[in-house]
Amino acid sequence: MSSITRGVKVGFMAIALLAALVVGYRFISRSTGTEGGYEVYAYLPDMTGVAPQSRVMISGIQVGVVRRIWLDEGRARVDIKMRPDMVLYEDAAIGKRATSLIGESYVVLTPGTEGNVKLKDGDQIRNYIDEPSIQSLQGQVSEILKDVKTVTETLKNTVGSNQGQDQIAAILKNLAEVTEQLNATVKENREVVKGTLANVQGITGDARPQVAAILDNVKQVTQEVRTMMNKGDEAGKPGEIRSALERIDRASSSLESALGHADNIAARIDKGEGTVGRLTKDETLINEVEGVVSDVGDLVGGIGRVQTVVGLRTDYNFLANTVKSYVELRLQPSTDKYYLIQLVNDPRGRTSFEQTTIDTTNPNDPPSYRETRVTTTNDFRLSFQFAKRLGPLTGRFGIMESTGGLGLDLHLIDDRFELKQDLFGFGEQLTPRWRITVGYEFISKLWLLGGVDDIITGDRRDYFVGLQLRFNDQDLKSILPFAPAGL
């Protein structure tokens, strides 16, 4: 029975020691207090001296522990377990601070600015605190010691050598000789100094009558100034200075009156009276003026942004053996759209078709027949199109050579190569006019063109080759506001 009691006692003692060990570990463990917390991570340039389960501090207070230190794609990554009651924000920062000269370090944090987004479990701390390290301080101390060593070596080479000692002895000897010479000079010139003082005393004694005369002159001057300041002499005429002061007094009175009038004018303006007052007080008038100024600013700014691209083009048609000329102007307010104005001289002229139905009683003719008249005039053709660009494609729509038309352009090789398709001439003939043009800017601003015109109509199909000079004329932009008046 006694052996069983002894075994029970030993068991209870072991359980008590184990419980005390667990409680002590929980008390001294650095991870205590992080249960239920969240984890964050960061990348640091160097993690030397920081160990897993080491402290994470904010203002000297532990707020977490280092859970893991590892290499993530070649960079030092540290995972931190934070206490659940500690809040970090998106502008939080992390750094490393040395605790002693033996190289041990711990992680420091700044929580960030309250009001920003809070960091959640698994978020990254992106800001870094550049703390001074023992290595950097050792480097600075090493540089200072090098400079001190250089200075001491210089002093040793200069003062510590035999030549330096001889030079210092010579300097001390010269200094002693100079002091002896100064002492001898003072002794030799003592009588001279006494004589100089005696001469000064004699001069001041002889100059007493002259000083009295000077004082008499000063007295006369003050009497004359008093006379000039008098209100009036026997004839009633005031002194000159008095007259000047009276004129200054009258001028100040006039200035005061002028300032009073100016104050009245300012008061009327402040009340909104008069033209200037309405300009400063009438909100409607002010808004209208601001609107006009804004509209003028928008107009001037829009004209300043417009690019004026001028094109001069000449084509040679092989089958018709004719030359066709173009003069065009592009008004381009932005890079993705422009307005095209074009004047075309086409030797083929402008062709119009007119169909007339004729009813007749002539027995030699059918009772009803249709007569078609084709009229070609040698007129200039006018184009006005709106173009919009989307990526490498530009679509055009509007008037094309005096008829309705569509166009589609393809731009390649940094816009130096163009493939253009035009479909127009609706109503001039039974089938519309389809033209394909290929262009290449082989020299800056000079384009080589070629293509096929009127592809659909076989008897009017023709091939052409041409040149076009296309350039941006900035001076033409300045006359755009006056163009409607000129037209």
Q: Which residues pair with 452 in a beta bridge?
A: 436, 463
Task: Tell me what pLDDT residue 277 has.
Answer: 65
Span 417-421, average pLDDT: 95
Q: Which of 6-15, 334-343, 382-391, 458-467 has the lowest mean pLDDT?
A: 6-15
- At 485, the pLDDT band (50, 70, 90 cuts) reads very low
Kindly give, in sequence order, each residue whose CB lies less than 8 Å from that of residue 267, ignoring residues fewer than 6 positions away: none
Torsion of CA 181, 182, 188, 190, to 10 degrees: -170
Kindly give, in sequence order, each residue whose CB lies less than 8 Å from that of residue 421, ignoring residues fewer than 6 positions away: 407, 408, 409, 434, 435, 436, 437
Tell me if 238 is assigned to some domain.
yes
Kindly give, in sequence order, each residue whose CB lies less than 8 Å from that of residue 282, ignoring residues fewer than 6 positions away: 272
Task: Tell me what pLDDT residue 451 has.
Answer: 96
Give the residue with greater pLDDT, 149 vs 472: 472
**Which of the listed residues 131, 156, 190 is the one where a domain comes to its end?**
131
Q: What is the mean pLDDT of the chain?
A: 80
Do residue 362 and residue 469 come from a single domain? yes
User: What range does the domain containing 79 cover?
Assistant: 31-131
How many of the other CB atoms lie within 10 Å of CB of 327? 14
HEC string of the chain equals CHHHHHHHHHHHHHHHHHHHHHHHHHHHCCCCCCCCCEEEEEEECCCCCCCCCCEEEECCEEEEEEEEEEEECCEEEEEEEECCCCCCECCCEEEEEECCCCCCEEEEEECCCCCCCECCCCCECCEEECCCCHHHHHHHHHHHHHHHHHHHHHHHHHCCCHHHHHHHHHHHHHHHHHHHHHHHHHHHCHHHHHHHHHHHHHHHHHCHHHHHHHHHHHHHHHHHHHHHHCCCCCCCCCCHHHHHHHHHHHHHHHHHHHHHHHHHHHHHHHHCCHHHHHHHHCHHHHHHHHHHHHHHHHHHHHHHHCEEEEEEEEEEECCCCEEEEEEEEEEEEECCEEEEEEEEECCCCEEEEEEEEEECCCCCCCCEEEEEEEEEECCCEEEEEEEEEECCEEEEEEEECCEEEEEEEEEECCCCEEEEEEEECECCECCCEEEEEEEEEEECCEEEEEEEECCCCCCCCEEEEEEEEEEECCHHHHHHHHHHHHC
Give 429-462 pLDDT, tens digit per residue.
778 889 999 999 999 999 999 999 989 887 889 9
- At 243, the pLDDT band (50, 70, 90 cuts) reads confident
Q: Is 172 left (phi over 0), alpha (psi -120 to 50) or beta?
A: alpha
Tell me if 375 is assigned to some domain.
yes
- At 193, the pLDDT band (50, 70, 90 cuts) reads confident
Tell me if 472 is assigned to some domain.
yes
Task: Tell me what pLDDT residue 27 has.
Answer: 47
Q: Token digits for 141?
A: 């101390």
Q: How far apart are CA 126 and CA 46, in angstroms?
A: 15
Give the residue with greater pLDDT, 283 vs 384: 384
pLDDT at 92 over 90: yes
Tell me if 194 is assigned to some domain.
no
Measured CA distances, 234 to 161, 225, 231, 237, 451 (Å): 96, 17, 10, 7, 115
Do residue 392 and residue 258 come from a single domain? no
Tell me if 18 is assigned to some domain.
no
Do residue 315 and residue 396 come from a single domain? yes
Tell me if 14 is assigned to some domain.
no
Tell me if 296 is assigned to some domain.
no
Q: Which of 24-38, 189-203, 378-392 has the lowest mean pLDDT?
A: 24-38
Q: What is the CATH number of the domain that holds 414?
A: 2.40.128
Task: Give me the helix-helix angle, 274-281 and 283-305, nearest 10°.
Answer: 70
Do residue 341 and residue 472 come from a single domain? yes
Q: Token digits for 481?
A: 């506001």
Give yes or no for a contact between 314 and 466, defined as CB atoms under 8 angstroms apart: yes
Q: How far apart are CA 292 and CA 302, in angstroms?
A: 15
Measured CA distances, 10 to 4, 6, 20, 175, 357 (Å): 10, 6, 15, 95, 132
How many of the other CB atoms lie within 10 Å of CB of 161? 11
Task: Tell me what pLDDT residue 282 has.
Answer: 65
User: How many domains does the chain fold into?
Assistant: 3
Of these ranges, 152-156, 258-262, 474-478, the one predicted with the greatest mean pLDDT is: 258-262
Do residue 241 and residue 121 come from a single domain? no
Do residue 325 and residue 408 come from a single domain? yes
Span 462-484, average pLDDT: 79
- At 46, the pLDDT band (50, 70, 90 cuts) reads confident
- At 281, the pLDDT band (50, 70, 90 cuts) reads low
Do residue 343 and residue 409 come from a single domain? yes
Do residue 316 and residue 404 come from a single domain? yes
Give 292-347 pLDDT, tens digit per residue.
666 655 655 556 578 889 999 999 999 888 999 999 999 988 889 999 999 998 88
Give yes or no for a contact between 382 and 343, defined as CB atoms under 8 angstroms apart: yes
Give yes or no for a contact between 386 and 404, defined as CB atoms under 8 angstroms apart: no
Do residue 244 and residue 361 come from a single domain? no
Task: Tell me what pLDDT residue 314 has.
Answer: 94
Q: Is 186 left (phi over 0), alpha (psi -120 to 50) or beta?
A: alpha
Q: Token digits for 360?
A: 């007749």
The rounded percent of the chain whose pLDDT value lies above 90 is: 28
Do residue 371 and residue 263 come from a single domain? no
pLDDT at 208 over 70: yes
Task: Tell me what pLDDT residue 417 has.
Answer: 95
Give yes or no for a contact between 448 and 439, defined as CB atoms under 8 angstroms apart: yes
Give yes or no for a contact between 78 and 66, defined as CB atoms under 8 angstroms apart: yes
Burial of 253 (0-12, 13-18, 19+ CB in 10 A): exposed
Query: How far, rounded to the nearest angstrom, does the alpha carbon of residue 179 sit from its chain's CA centroid?
Result: 69
Task: Tell me what pLDDT residue 306 has.
Answer: 83
Tell me if 1 is assigned to some domain.
no
Closest CA to 466 of 326, 295, 341: 326
Span 414-434, average pLDDT: 87
Give the residue with greater pLDDT, 472 vs 228: 472
Q: Which residues pair with 313 in a beta bridge?
A: 326, 468
Q: Which residues pair with 334 in a beta bridge?
A: 337
Span 151-174, average pLDDT: 76
Do residue 252 and residue 379 come from a single domain? no
Do residue 324 and residue 443 come from a single domain? yes
